[in-house]
Amino acid sequence: MTLIPDLPGETPYAASVVEQGDLVLWLTRRDADATKRLAVLAPAGAPPAPVFSGEAGEIAGRTLLLCPADAGNAAALRDLLPWLRAQTLGLRTSAGFGDRLGLATPGHARAVRANPGIAPIYAQQSIRENVRTSRTAQQVMDAATWGVFEAGWRDGFGADGDHLKTPADADVMVAAGYTFFTIDPGEHVDDGAHTATYRELIDKVDALPWGDLDSSPADLRARLLGRTFDAGGMTLTFEDETLARAAAKYGRAVAHAVRMFRHLDAVSGDRAWEMELSVDETETPTSHLEHLYIVSELRRLGVRWVSLAPRYVGRFEKGVDYIGVLDALRADLAGHAAIARAFGPYKLSLHSGSDKFSIYPLAVEATNGMVHLKTAGTSMLTAQQAIAMTDPALFRQLYALAFERFAIDRASYHISADPARAPQIDELADADLPAVVDQFDARQMLHVTFGSAIMQYGPAMQAALRAHEETHYAALERHFDRHLAPFARHTT
């Protein structure tokens, strides 16, 4: 074990200590105000390389640099330590962890370490989330860098630019070093095709952007109509109406995905990267034939992808367990997984996947571990629960704000929360507040008002969590152990 000098008034994070060449580096926390700094120990008179920015001094005959945990030093650290750079994860069982406050990665890493075999995505944020939290893609990446360094995680991680809708969105994520790009063509999905008449479907198909699809209605029919496809014993056949419905519903989405893929391929150069396609945020489920249409067209057009998120049956609402008939979902997952194996292989992705404890065994069973679990808001909810444990006055303010902002902030979400059913906490004792975060309606209200909470109380929330860091990390570990354990059992 590498020995580091004792720094008065500082507490080191032992897991972060690393020797690299003639340097020793670690993260330290100032006891007076919980400020974290990078410590770099170098031979006497030798400037640490790469160039770190900080306060220089001497200790035990060596040069000591104490550096702020800022963007410049995060970049220098990534240059020096390759395991701090995001990488691709391929077909391994994986999980994504959104971190809207920038403080959760060490807690996430504890849970992943306790559940071996799961490849983590520690930097994950959508453009929508960044707008609502006033953060940049680079700030999200830098927060993950410092969290991975603090935790001593050296087994690799991915970085997901989530729900990208335009080439400009993708450019931002590429520039910040992301490696996993989730394309969201939901605005190009025609939900009206789900119930359209056959004549209406033909009109919709004729109007598709056939130039972008490098095809025509006649070519599509010649390729797919009447063909029977085998997906691991499940047979799928396109008939006139099912083919027209699939193309009308998803043809424009396919064209958009192709444009995004080609743009990413051009701007990424020789860097390794991978793509996920997400059609989960739509009104109607993705049938197995529609899934087959999407991937057959993507493959024909030269698109490469590592995972796909269909819109499954039932409801995947934010922050709560699955709402629907489990046997119906079991059958739906089995069909989608069979297609993913036969026409890939690629992973199925579970979006809005947090807190869906009833379905994790079904997903593992159907996919045989070829699955990606995507979570985001549940980490913020866990932070709010930790605040309820340690700073009840602040939690009461956050909860009041959730009532105030819910009607506005819920607009972009499909949720069932009703403020009339949420607990009224004025008369509750402080000790009862953490349980409020687990109540269905309160949980969804807190979930969808995250942006308002961060705008109004972000610094106070961060200060409370830094002051009670171990409570926060332990809560994250407990919560995500429940998420990851079903997937880890499959990989061991």
HSE (side-chain half, CA atoms, 13 Å) at 468: 19
pLDDT for position 367: 98
Query: Cα 74 from chain centroid?
Result: 21
Q: How far apart are CA 245 and CA 224, in angstroms?
A: 13
pLDDT at residue 290 above 70?
A: yes
| Average pLDDT of the residues in 378-390 | 99
Give the whole-angstrom CA distance, residue 25 versus residue 22: 10
With a CB cutoff of 8 Å and minimum separation 6, the contacts of 74 are 141, 142, 145, 146
Amino acid at 470: E
Enter the pTM of the model. Answer: 0.96
Say if residue 49's pLDDT is above 70.
no
Give residue 50's identity as a one-letter amino acid code: P
* DSSP secondary structure code for residue 193 in this structure: G
Q: How confident is the model at residue 489 (pLDDT cuts 50, 70, 90)?
A: confident
User: What is the DSSP code (8-state) at residue 472?
Assistant: H
- How far is 145 from 151, CA to CA, in rounded Å? 10
The pLDDT mean for the chain works out to 97
For residue 9, give the nearest of 53, 92, 61, 66 by alpha carbon.
66
The whole-number pLDDT of residue 434 equals 99
Least confident of 2-6, 144-148, 203-207, 338-342: 2-6
> How far is the CA of 98 from the CAs of 105, 122, 376, 440, in angstroms?
9, 7, 4, 21
The alpha carbon of residue 259 and the mean position of all alpha carbons in its chain are separated, in whole angstroms, by 23
Whole-number pLDDT of residue 474: 99
Q: What is the CA radius of gyration of the chain?
A: 24
**CA–CA separation, 292 vs 43, rounded Å?**
61
Percent of the chain at pLDDT exceeding 90: 95
Q: How high is the pLDDT of residue 281? A: 86
Please provide residue 389's backbone torsions phi and psi, each rounded to the nearest 5 degrees: -75, -30
Report yes or no: 148 and 158 within 8 Å, Cβ to Cβ.
no
- For residue 172, pLDDT over 60 is answered with yes
pLDDT for residue 163 is more than 90 = yes
Taking the C-alpha atoms of residue 421 and residue 362, their distance in angstroms, rounded to an integer, is 30
pLDDT value, residue 48: 63
Cα 312 from Cα 287, distance rounded (Å): 8
pLDDT at 2: 77
Digit-coded pLDDT (tens) for 189-203: 999 999 999 999 999
How far is the C-alpha of 331 from the C-alpha of 201, rounded, in Å?
Answer: 27
CA-nearest of 472, 400, 477 to 442 is: 400
Question: What's the token pair of residue 430?
Answer: 């402080």
**Tokens 């006497």 label which residue?**
44
Burial readout 448-469 (b: 16 or more C-beta within 10 A, e: otherwise): bbbbbbbebbbebbbebbeebb
Distance of CA 137 to the CA centre of its chain: 13
Give tens-digit pLDDT for 4-25.
999 999 999 999 999 999 999 9
High-pLDDT (> 70) share of the chain, %? 99
The token duo for 309 is 């998120």
pLDDT at 324: 98
Q: How many CB atoms lie within 10 A of CB 318?
A: 22
Domains and CATH numbers, the chain: 10-69 (no CATH), 83-192+217-377 (3.20.20.70), 378-480 (no CATH)
d(CA 333, CA 347): 12
Count Cβ atoms within 10 A of the Cβ of residue 51 and give its class: 0-12 exposed, 13-18 middle, 19 or more buried. Answer: exposed
In this structure, the chain runs to a length of: 492
> Looking at residue 45, what is its pLDDT?
77
Interior CA angle at 280 toward 366 and 385, to 5°?
A: 90
User: Taking the mean position of all CA atoms in its chain, how far away is CA 461?
Assistant: 21
Task: State how far the Cα of 134 lies from the Cα of 139, in Å rounded to an integer.
Answer: 10
Q: Which residue matches tokens 């099912």?
A: 242
SS3 for 356-422 is CCCCHHHHHHHHCCCEEEEECHHHHHHHHHHHHHHCHHHHHHHHHHHHHHHHHHHHHCCCCCCHHHC
**Which residue bears the tokens 């450019």?**
171
Give the residue numbers marked as catalytic.
Answer: 162, 276
